[in-house]
Amino acid sequence: MAETFSFKLLATDGKARRGVVSMPRGEIRTPAFMPVGTGGTVKAMYMDQVRGVGADIILGNTYHLMLRPGAERVARLGGLHEFARWPYPILTDSGGFQVMSLSKLRKLTEQGVTFRSHIDGAAYEMSPERSIEIQGLLDSDIQMQLDECTALPAKPTEIERAMELSLRWAERCKTAFGDQPGKAMFGIVQGGDSAALRVRSAQALNAMDLKGYAVGGLAVGEPQSVMLEMLDITCPELPAAKPRYLMGVGTPDDILKSVARGIDMFDCVMPTRNGRHGVAFTRFGQVNLRNARHADDPRPLDEESSWPSTRDCARAYLHHLVKAGETLGAMLLSEINVAYYQSLMQGIREAIAHGTFNEFYQRTREGWARGDIAPR
C-alpha cells in the first residue's frame, strides 16, 4: 500500500481522465463513484456488498456522524473504518452542506456557524478548524474544507460573498489539517452559476496547492446545462495532476457528461434513495418497480448484468416486495442500483483506457434512450 496520498493520471480521452488515487488504506480507481454512507452505513447494504459491487471508497457525512454517535465517540471506538467495518478509503464532507440544509436556528459568521441538531435540538458550533478536527476524529482519508454552499438561483452578490468566505475558510482548513502525508484535504470551488466567480474561486484554490479539488454548489436546483457550463469553465482552471470531485452528483447521465468534462470523483444518494423508493437503475434507464406491469413478469431487470440480484430476481418478486413494503425490496434495489453505478464507472474507466470513451458514451445513452424492455 502507498504510504502517501498521490494521484496518477493513467490515460486521457478528450477531456475524460482515467487515473488512480493511492493512499495507505487502498487505491481509488477514477473516475470513481462513492456510495454515500451517511451515518456509518450505506443504507440497506452490507459493507461486503458495497465492496463487492466495486466501490473503492465510500463517503461519510460529518454532520450526521457528529450528532450521532458523535465524533469523539467514533474516535474512542477506533475511528469510522473500525466502527462501520469498512477498512478502505473514506471521504468525509465538511458537514457544512447538511448544517445549512438540515439543522435549525443556524447562525453564520466569519468564524463559523452555530446551529441546533435536527435530532434533539442540542447546540453545536462548526468552524473550519472544528470541521477538520471532527474529520480527523473520524479518521477519514479524504477530508473536505468547510464551505458555504449557496442554493441556486441566488443573487450574484450573495454568491460572491459565500464564495469569498469559502476561500478564507479553505486557508484555515489547510492550516488546521497541517501535514498528513497519508491523507488529503480537498478545497471546494464555489461561485454558483457565475463563470467569473467560478474562475476566481478555482484560481485562488489552485494557488493554495491543495491535494485535490471539489466542485461544489452544483446540482442544487439549477438546470443540468448550467452545471455542465460551470464544469466547462472550472475544470480547465484546475491542475491536471490532481483529482477533481463533483459533489453530490448525480444521475448516470450527469456522471457521463461530467466525466466528459474532466471530473474524476462523484458521490450521490440517488442509487440507494431511489432503491428504497422502488426505482431501479439499469442499462435501459430507470425502472419503477411499483408499476403494475411488473406484477406478472418473471424476467429479471437485466439478464446480462454482472450482478447476481439484477440477473436473477424476477421483476414480479421485486414488485411484490416493493408494494408490500418489505425491507428486502429496499435491500435488493439498493444493491442493484449501487452495482449499476459501479458497473457504469467500470465501463467508463475501461473506455477511457482504450480511447473509446465517446463510443461508450453514445452506446450507454442509446441504451437509456431505448428505455426499459417491453412487457411480454
Q: Which of 85, 155, 354, 363 binds a second copy (CB under 8 A)?
A: 85
Say whether residue 53 binds a second copy (CB under 8 A): no
Q: Which of 10, 195, 241, 295 binds a second copy (CB under 8 A)?
A: 295
Say whether residue 88 binds a second copy (CB under 8 A): no
Say whether residue 269 binds a second copy (CB under 8 A): no
Q: In the complex, what is the shortest distance from the CB of residue 117 to a second copy, in angstroms, rounded to a whole number?
A: 13
Beta-strand ranges (E) seen in 151-309 are: 184-189, 212-215, 244-246, 265-268, 279-282, 285-288
Say whether residue 45 binds a second copy (CB under 8 A): yes
Say whether residue 209 binds a second copy (CB under 8 A): no
Say whether residue 77 binds a second copy (CB under 8 A): yes
Q: In the complex, what is the shortest distance from the CB of residue 2 to a second copy, in angstroms, rounded to a whole number?
A: 27
Number of residues interacting with a second copy: please give it, by CB under 8 A.
Answer: 34
Nearest to 13 by CA among 365, 366, 360: 360
Residues 356 and 343: their CA atoms lie apart, in Å, by 16
Q: Which stretch binds a second copy (CB under 8 A): 37-45, 214-222, 228-236, 240-248?
A: 37-45
Q: Which of 34, 330, 339, 351 binds a second copy (CB under 8 A)?
A: 330
Q: Which of 163, 313, 338, 339 binds a second copy (CB under 8 A)?
A: 313
Q: Which stretch binds a second copy (CB under 8 A): 137-145, 281-289, 309-317, 360-368?
A: 309-317
User: Could you tell me which residues come within 8 angstroms of residue 374 by beta carbon, excluding any fewer than 6 positions away?
Assistant: none
Q: Which stretch binds a second copy (CB under 8 A): 173-181, 285-293, 325-333, 366-374?
A: 325-333
Report CA dihedral (289, 290, 291, 294) to the nearest 10 degrees. Answer: 50
User: Could you tell me which residues come within 8 angstroms of residue 9 by beta carbon, excluding any fewer than 6 positions away?
Assistant: 17, 18, 19, 240, 241
Say whether residue 9 binds a second copy (CB under 8 A): no
Say whether residue 317 binds a second copy (CB under 8 A): yes
Query: Whose Cβ is closer to a second copy: residue 108's or residue 373's?
Result: 373
Residue 88: how many CA atoms within 13 Å on its side-chain side? 20
The catalytic residues are: 93, 267
Say whether residue 312 binds a second copy (CB under 8 A): yes
Q: Which helix (H) or strand (E) holds 28?
A: strand 26-30
Query: Whose Cβ is closer to a second copy: residue 279's or residue 313's?
Result: 313
Beta-strand ranges (E) seen in 79-211 are: 90-92, 104-108, 113-116, 123-126, 142-144, 184-189
Q: In the complex, what is the shortest distance from the CB of residue 359 to a second copy, in angstroms, rounded to a whole number?
A: 36
Nearest to 233 by CA among 187, 198, 257: 198
Say whether residue 46 binds a second copy (CB under 8 A): yes
Residues 258 and 264: their CA atoms lie apart, in Å, by 9
Query: Whose Cβ is closer to a second copy: residue 25's or residue 276's?
Result: 276
Side chain identity at residue 1, one-letter code: M
Q: How far is CA 170 from CA 138, 218, 233, in A?
A: 20, 18, 21
Say whether residue 83 binds a second copy (CB under 8 A): yes
Say whether residue 8 binds a second copy (CB under 8 A): no
Cβ–Cβ under 8 Å, residues 300 and 312? yes
Say whether residue 44 binds a second copy (CB under 8 A): yes
Residues 35 and 269: their CA atoms lie apart, in Å, by 7
Residue 95 three-state SS? coil
Say whether residue 78 binds a second copy (CB under 8 A): yes
In angstroms, the first-to-last Cα distance of the chain is 51
Q: Residues interacting with a second copy, by CB under 8 A?
A: 39-41, 43-46, 68-69, 73, 76-78, 83-85, 295-296, 298, 312-314, 316-317, 319-321, 323-324, 326-328, 330-331
